[in-house]
Amino acid sequence: MKKLKPILACITTLLMVNACTFTYNKPYSRHLSGNWQIRTLNGEPTPDMSARIRFDPKTQQYFAYFGCNQLSGTYRDIHHTLHLSRPSGINKLCANIEDERTGTGTLGFVESWRIINDNFGVRLQLLDKSNYVRVEARLLQETENKKK
């Protein structure tokens, strides 16, 4: 009986540590979801006001548009640490292909995100490892989504 108590204590401790680890890795994408109008890339205004990014927490996919091709990829979000796969999509040549290359290149630097809710509305900021804002976007309301 004396040996059983330490064994049960160890098992209980392991189960608690495992439960904490599971909670730690829980995705927080629910707040990241939505359709966002991209306003700035690397601190500069976006040349095309139709630039968008959307995150779908059900499928863990993101969809981006920088004025030329519809792009998509997968993402993983754990405690605001964001891992984006390289975007893929139809590679048609457009007049503003450089804007798209800038946008897709910028996504490669993204490592985290934050939401800011202030006088300017709800904004998404995608940050690099130095916490520099690479992408800033404004949450679009449902009525605005239907117009696009």
Q: Do the domain assignments include residue 51?
A: yes
Is 15 within a domain? no
Q: Against a cut of 0.85, is the pTM above it?
A: no
pLDDT tens for 7-26 read 556 555 555 545 443 333 34
Does 124 fall in a domain?
A: yes
Asked if 71 and 63 count as a contact pair (C-beta separation under 8 A), the reply is: yes
Q: Is residue 98 part of a domain?
A: yes
DSSP 69: -
Boundaries of domain holding 140: 29-147
What span, in angstroms and rounded, lies between the C-alpha atoms of 109 and 105?
7
Cβ partners under 8 Å of residue 114, min gap 6: 80, 124, 125, 127
Our separate counts of H helices and E strands in the chain read 3, 10
Residue scoring higher pLDDT (120 or 8): 120
Task: Classify residue 112: in a domain, yes or no.
Answer: yes
CATH number of the domain encompassing residue 46: 2.40.128.270
| Inside any domain, residue 16 | no
In the prediction, which pLDDT does 95 show? 76
Count structural domains, the chain. 1
